[in-house]
Amino acid sequence: MAAENQSHTSQSDLPYVLILKPPPSFALFGDHVLDSPRFQYLKAYESPLPLPQFLHTHAHSVQAVLSSGRAPVTADTICLLPRLGLVVTTSQGLNHIDLSECRRRGIAVASAGNTYSADCADSVVGLLIDVLRKISAANRYVKQGLWSSQGVYPLGYKLGGKRVGIVGLGSIGTEVAKRLEAFGCSISYNSRTKKPLVPYTFYPNVVQLAANCDALIICCALTDETYHLINKEVLSALGKDGVIINIARGPIIDEKELVRCLVKGEIRGAGLDVFEHEPDVPVELFELDNVVMSPHNAVFTRESFEDLCKLVVGNFEAFFSNEPLLSPVALDHLPHFSGGKD
Amino acid sequence: MESIGVLMACPMNPYLEQELHKRFNLHRFWKVPEKSAFLTAHSNSIRAVVGNASAGADANLIEALPKLEIVASFSVGLDKIDLAKCKEKGIRVTNTPDVLTEDVADLAIALMLAVLRKLCESDRYVRSGKWKKGKYMLTTKFTGKRVGIIGLGRIGMAIAKRAEAFSCPISYHSRTEKPEAKYKYYPNVVELAANCDILVVACSLTEETRHIINRKVIDAMGPKGVLINVGRGPHVDEPELVSALVEGRLGGAGLDVFEHEPEVPEELFGLDNVVLLPHVGSGTVETRKAMADLVLGNLEAHFLKKPLLTPVV
């Protein structure tokens, strides 16, 4: 009992981190996986109060927010938190955070940094080989007993020698390039700016990149500029022998157009971890053997989650000790996503 | 050359079949109802056999064809050919190395990713509509896992090169150590199995390597170990593998080959940590054409008395 009293006393001195909605780590590992002796959580989702009222009540206690994809940090929320100094997100993507508002208010942002880059790149390679070599489709075929009854499975396509075009040569894009080079692929890319020290061919726009590759890989951030970046023109340039892989964000691709192209056979296939309106997925895709899908879990490995938990806690602890953040995001030149059209 | 009798052991590739039919007097063995009568009737005209991973030229067939000069295999594996008998009778043997190395290596990595990252299961999950219920699926990271390769030939080396790009430490077991390879060598498979996370079979099938993956090796791999087989089905003691997977004594498996293709143990069908493929290691449009051209090239070279392109014997 005495110990409990003691911890209660010291608890009330601890700074607060606001959580609007539980992050994926809680669902997977329980509510205490991000605990630290140096701060405590204020869980808005556990309160019976409506959010604005909750925020109003606790406005002056909150210096930091833990965000995740399903718990966006909007200008409205930021407005209600005058002491907010830090947003830590469990994701690498930042499209759910009002970066302009953070920049204006001098609020620091920390993300997953490079924690997920290897896993995302591994997903890209997995999805790409799966689409070309029909791995998931052939596995289905065998497990339905069709190999012995129906015989030989149709041929796939060779990965070696294919031209790979990467949209967004950031940390994930770079890891993708490194891996696919080992398979004998040639690499080209499009990025906001050309990268001088990189040995890959740069194309100034995505249409040209698509026209000159066999596999288009989406690895860029979702911003106002990249919303529906992959449109009819790009898919047409990619052509009927082209494959598209998306592990970035669903809204980067005009999904209606993509589905139409796949159904009509205007592109060879697609590997998709993300969709415009998750968890809704266009049912037309379920009929197609040349499409491989995953439920936005490209980063959901046990190892990455363990690394992420340490990073999240480390960022908050650094902030509250006035030390440099472990994975700060440089807001100065970062483009913003204002939500796109629906 | 249209009068030269060529016996094709089984259906393997429409383009190859077409070309053989154009250039030679092609006999399709699988369409023959009475095989021994057929062989007797044609024993003086068949000078070549074209086989593959499923069917080749065993001692009986070789004995039945006294005019046989060459066996050209539409595969790199030679386990379906009685090489000793061919050597004894001066029969040439060719296969299709190199052209399929990359595809088989690609498939090995694909199987590793598919098993660890549950690619097929994830796809199934989305298609089933279960995603709306919001359950998260945790998988195992591939980058950095220790990969152990049995057989460091062309395919084994290609697998190593690819796995290295994922920062996987590489170790191997081979008949002889390869000092130029710079990977860690283990003198026996059990030790290799105990010291890696993913064990991949990439050696040729011989009497020595039959059931090279046995109970001892599976035990050494442990409940988190993953087995990948892109070699031949008989490399693995299949009933032992099946019970280990069903009982959870092995972490997972990615298999492209089986002991009695196309039969696959049904106990494996319901396991989401197992990926099963219908022997598609070299199964791409590009590679099968290259393999077919190599078979045709070898046959032409032989009958035109030129050096064989890819002789084994």
B189-232 residue pLDDT tens? 999 999 999 999 999 999 999 999 999 999 999 999 999 999 99
C-alpha–C-alpha distance, residues B41 and A152, integer Å: 31
The answer to pTM > 0.80 is yes
- Residue A16: φ, ψ to 5°: -100, 140
pLDDT band at B270 (very low <50, low <70, confident <90, very high): very high
Strand partners, A17: A41, A64
Q: Do A305 and B140 touch (CB under 8 A)?
A: no
At A339 the pLDDT is: 73
Sign of the Cα torsion A143, A149, A150, A151 reads positive
Structure tokens at A103: 């920049």
Q: What are B26-64's pLDDT values in tens digits?
A: 999 999 999 999 999 999 999 999 999 999 999 999 999
Name every chain A residue with its beta carbon within 8 A of the beta carbon of B264: 142, 147-148
A288 touches chain B (CB under 8 A): no
Contacts of A144 (CB under 8 A, 6+ apart): none
B102 touches chain A (CB under 8 A): yes
**Cα dihedral B209/B282/B163/B152 (nearest 10):** 30
Amino acid in position A100: S
Q: Which of B98, B100, B120, B291 to mutate to test the interface with A (most CBs of A within 10 A)?
A: B120
- Residue B133: φ, ψ to 5°: -80, -5
**Cα dihedral A307/A310/A311/A314 (nearest 10):** -160
Q: Are A218 and A226 in contact (CB under 8 A)?
A: no
How many C-alpha atoms does A153 have within 13 Å on its Cβ side? 31
Q: Are A165 and A213 in contact (CB under 8 A)?
A: yes
Residue B307 has pLDDT above 50, yes or no: yes
- The beta-carbon neighbor of A139 closest among B162, B262, B277 is B277
C-alpha–C-alpha distance, residues B84 and B12, integer Å: 25
Q: Are B73 and B93 in contact (CB under 8 A)?
A: yes
pLDDT band at A13 (very low <50, low <70, confident <90, very high): confident
Name every chain B residue with its beta carbon within 8 A of the beta carbon of A305: 138
C-alpha–C-alpha distance, residues B123 and B107, integer Å: 18
Question: Which run of H or of E encompasses B70?
Answer: strand B70-73
Residue A251 has pLDDT above 90, yes or no: yes
What value does the mean pLDDT of chain B take?
96
At A10 the pLDDT is: 56
Residue A8 has pLDDT above 80, yes or no: no
At A2 the pLDDT is: 45
CA–CA min distance A137, chain B (Å): 8
Q: Which of B139, B168, B279 to mutate to test the interface with A (most CBs of A within 10 A)?
A: B139
What's the rounded mean pLDDT across residues A241-264?
98
Q: Do B141 and A118 touch (CB under 8 A)?
A: yes
Return the axis-axis angle of helices A117-133 and A171-182, rounded to nearest 10°: 50
Strand partners, B149: B172, B200
Structure tokens at A218: 């989406």
ipTM of the complex: 0.95
- The beta-carbon neighbor of B141 closest among A129, A140, A304 is A304
Structure tokens at A313: 């806690």
Q: What's A170's DSSP letter?
A: S
Q: What are A288-317's pLDDT values in tens digits?
A: 999 999 999 999 999 999 999 999 999 999
Share of chain A above pLDDT 90, in %: 88
Residue A122 has pLDDT above 70, yes or no: yes
At B167 the pLDDT is: 98
At A127 the pLDDT is: 98
What value does the mean pLDDT of chain A take?
93
At A333 the pLDDT is: 73
Neighbours of A2 (CB within 10 A): 6
Q: Are B13 and B288 in contact (CB under 8 A)?
A: yes
Q: What are A319-342's pLDDT values in tens digits?
A: 999 999 999 999 887 777 887 544
Structure tokens at A314: 């480390």
Maximum C-alpha span of chain A: 73
Three-class SS of B103-131: HHHHHHHHHHHHHHCCHHHHHHHHHCCHH
Sign of the Cα torsion A171, A172, A178, A184 reads negative
